[in-house]
Amino acid sequence: MTYHASIGVAVIGAGRMGADHVRRISEVTSGAHVAAVVDVDIDRAKTVAADVEGCAAYGDVAEALASPDVDAVLLASPGIAHEAALLTAFEHDLPVLCEKPLTPDAVSALRVLEAEQRLGHRRVQVGFMRRYDSEYLELKALLDSGDLGLPLMLHNRHRNPSCPPDFTSAMLINDSVTHEMDITRWLLGQEITSVTVMRPRSSVNAPEGLADPQFVVFETDGGALVDVEIYVNARYGYQVQAEAVCEHGTARIGDRHDMLVTSAGRWGGTVTPGFVERFAEAYDREVQEWVDATRRGEVTGPSAWDGYAVAAVCEAGVRSLTEGHRVDVELVDRPDLYR
């Protein structure tokens, strides 16, 4: 197997996620280095790039991706900018690790699918990092083994301490439950066929006008039922849990803790404060596997089809939230490139 030398990565987006990926590639990942940081705010790009020896800063994606120093792209800009950046990467036939969403809606995601198919080979890996978390990997292996029989139900809990001030009710679906959409499809190996969103009374912790929490139900083409409790102002910390109910048993993840202390008639531990801390290992593994595959000349991991399918489920979810009833998910036939 042939491995190429250290690949030069252009990180597009110098915000929280982009800056964290620059740090990760520079300090944690082997076989890659950050060749460029790109942001519409050139000063922010320069600030992030300044910490990396030999790294250039750009305010324009096309200029950065035309550089001979760039071998691959890590896309961490806002979702609305993803389609243009992906199409530019395709022009140079560059592999891309694209943070979710692939694009903000199914129509634009379908355009990306069609453009990638014209290349004749995969170039996109979508950043659904939960697939790289050790607990989810363990659950996936157990379900795939068949030891517990067929999965019948999947229960998910997704709680954040708080949400940004500009968070909307639809963003609970598009920005948060999107992870459960992908992990459901991956764990079960099934497509989601419908979404129902129900709204209990809003928590006093939620900003005025925000429907938080929400209770979301998926139906799948394999006959499974999946529920997601999403609560983005739970206050106490960041917590993600999943329980698979199968024919011959159940399996639950998300209960692991750091040290538990018993003292003065009480016992307890800690809850991670945010998603970066909870999934730090998963992000590290995701980027390392992407780099390793790129150096082999391969593209693995969640595909553009996965990104498109989740975008379609998101649209059905927002419709259900708005209209108050069950909504079917509409998908095109899966192209051969993604089978």
Read off the amino acid at residue 115: A
Amino acid at 247: E
121-161 tens-digit pLDDT: 999 999 999 999 999 999 999 999 999 999 999 999 999 99
Question: Is residue 241 a contact partner of residue 140, using CB atoms and an 8 Å limit?
Answer: no
- State the average pLDDT over residues 50-56: 95
Residue 3 pLDDT class (50, 70, 90 cuts)? low
Q: What is the crossing angle of helices 280-295 and 16-27, to 10°?
A: 60
CA 135, CA 123: separation in Å to the nearest integer? 28
Tens of pLDDT, residues 251-288? 999 987 667 777 788 888 888 888 878 899 999 999 99
Q: 169 pLDDT exceeds 80?
A: yes
Of 290, 81, 320, nearest in space to 177 by CA = 320
**Confidence (pLDDT) at 271:** 85
* d(C-alpha 226, C-alpha 242), whole Å: 10
- Per mean pLDDT, which range of 51-55, 208-212, 274-278 is the poorest? 274-278
- Write down all domains in the chain, each with its CATH number in brackets: 7-129+281-303 (3.40.50.720), 134-275 (3.30.360.10)
- Residue 249 pLDDT > 70, yes or no? yes
The predicted-structure confidence for 12-37, as pLDDT tens digits, reads as follows 999 999 999 999 999 999 999 999 99
Quick one: pLDDT at residue 5?
81
Q: Is the dihedral of CA 173, 175, 181, 187 positive or negative?
A: negative
Q: What is the pLDDT of residues 284-324, one digit of tens each?
A: 999 999 999 999 999 999 999 999 999 999 999 999 999 99
Q: Answer whether 301's CB lies under 8 Å from 289's CB.
A: yes
Contact predicate 307/334, CB 8 Å: no
- State CA 255 to chain mean position distance: 21
pLDDT value for 214? 98
In order of 130, 143, 196, 246, the CA distances from 140 in angstroms are 11, 5, 25, 13
Average pLDDT over residues 38-52: 97
Contacts (Cβ under 8 Å, ≥6 apart) of 302: 125, 126, 127, 128, 131, 182, 186
E-strand stretches of the chain:
7-12, 32-38, 56-58, 72-75, 96-99, 124-127, 151-159, 192-198, 214-220, 225-231, 239-246, 249-253, 261-263, 266-268, 327-328
Q: Please report the pLDDT score of residue 1 as a whole number.
A: 41
Whole-model pTM: value is 0.94
